[in-house]
């Protein structure tokens, strides 16, 4: 056997390994897709539950006199400067 024939056999072996790898990969991918299809069909045939009602909230209007004294100047409003001046300040 000369060097050219050996190279030919090596190239054929590499091509065969690549084709076998591709075949195994596609076979496994097909099995996973089939499994997902079965799971989706089972999920679609399950009875659907009633949707839950949306949560509700109650809003209250607060007047400045009903706020506790500690809320007059909180750190969050002191940093942003959003606090309105009180009656004694100008």
Could you tell me where the DSSP H helices lie in 1-90?
Answer: 3-44, 75-80
Q: What is the pLDDT of the chain when averaged over all its residues?
A: 81
Cα 10 from chain centre: 46
- Specify the pTM: 0.46
pLDDT for position 37: 95
Between CA 38 and CA 41 the distance in angstroms is 5
Per DSSP, 45 falls in state T
| 29 is a domain residue | yes
81 domain-assigned: no
Per-residue confidence (pLDDT) for residue 36, from 0 to 100: 95
Domain count, the chain: 1
Query: Cβ(83)–Cβ(73) under 8 Å?
Result: yes
Domain extent at residue 30: 20-46
pLDDT tier, 62 (very low <50, low <70, confident <90, very high otherwise): confident
- Residues of 67-82 as b/e, b for ≥16 C-beta within 10 angstroms? eeeeeeeeeeeeeeee
Residue 24: inside a domain: yes
pLDDT at 45: 80
């Amino acid at each position: 056997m000369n060097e050219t024939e050996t190279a030919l056999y090596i190239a054929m072996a590499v091509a065969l390994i690549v084709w076998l790898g591709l075949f195994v990969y596609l076979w496994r991918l097909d099995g996973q897709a089939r499994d997902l299809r079965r799971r989706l069909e089972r999920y679609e045939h399950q009875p659907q539950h009633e949707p839950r009602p949306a949560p509700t909230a109650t809003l209250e209007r607060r007047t400045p006199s009903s706020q506790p004294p500690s809320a007059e100047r909180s750190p969050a409003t002191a940093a942003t400067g959003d606090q309105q001046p009180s009656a004694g300040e100008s």
